[in-house]
Structure 1
């Protein structure tokens, strides 16, 4: 996965936004105003910082030479990952997903509900089905229609 593919994948996340608050050489991806990924634009090879559960962070660092403690970040909770290297794209996507999910689950309720609604809409649009939260409403709507 190269830098552009990484960027596109991050931006596909519901509620994701990009910016350059630290200068033009660092892309920051946020959800609900909180960072879930940063990408260095001037590094060769390209690198990204991703939030990570502390135990998983250590496991990934042991598994991949291209995963290191987060550069300029809390090294317990962030990894720096080389893009376009030996790490399979699927594993990189899982790392992005994990980072995003960690941030979303710790958002204030008002932000989390907006992201959840966006996720529900994305699931319906892609035909992947309904979230757990929307199933009871759908069942209730079907029952009401059946009674009429």
Structure 2
């Protein structure tokens, strides 16, 4: 997956926005003000930090030890940093969608309903 495809994927979700609160290089993708993905789209290799269920985070790290590592400067229990080009694009898409869904699930019910995510 190339940087433009990763960016397009992150922005394809309802109410997703891209912000640059830390520096001009770090894209922070949010839904209703809550972060679901962080990446430097110009970095080599391309990585993205994604929210994950704690048990799934450990499972992914064990299954892909060179590709999925604890989140860089994030809560290591809930975040993984993924080297994008080392996994199939479909798997990366699933992980990004899971991250988005986890964040949306914590939003108030009224906000979830506006996003068509009960």
Higher helix share: 1
Please, which runs of 5 or more residues in structure 1 have no aligned partner? 120-132, 134-148
Render the CA deviation track for 1:105-139: whole Å, top value 9, x for unaligned: 101223212212xx6xxxxxxxxxxxxx7xxxxxx
Secondary structure, aligned partner of 2:110: helix
Structure 1 counterpart of 2:38: 38
Q: Is 1:79 matched up with 2:88?
A: no
Question: Structure 1 length as normaliser, TM-score?
Answer: 0.75
Structure 1 counterpart of 2:21: 21
Higher strand share: 2
Question: Structure 2 length as normaliser, TM-score?
Answer: 0.93
Structure 1's consecutive aligned runs of 4 or more residues displaced over 6 angstroms after TM superposition are none
Structure 1 counterpart of 2:55: 55
Aligned-residue CA RMSD in angstroms? 1.4
Q: Distance in 2 between matches of 1:43 and 1:10?
A: 17
Secondary structure, aligned partner of 1:73: coil
Q: Distance in 1 between matches of 2:72 and 2:42?
A: 14
Secondary structure, aligned partner of 2:115: helix
Q: How far is the alpha carbon of 1:42 from its aligned partner?
A: 4.5
Larger Rg: 1
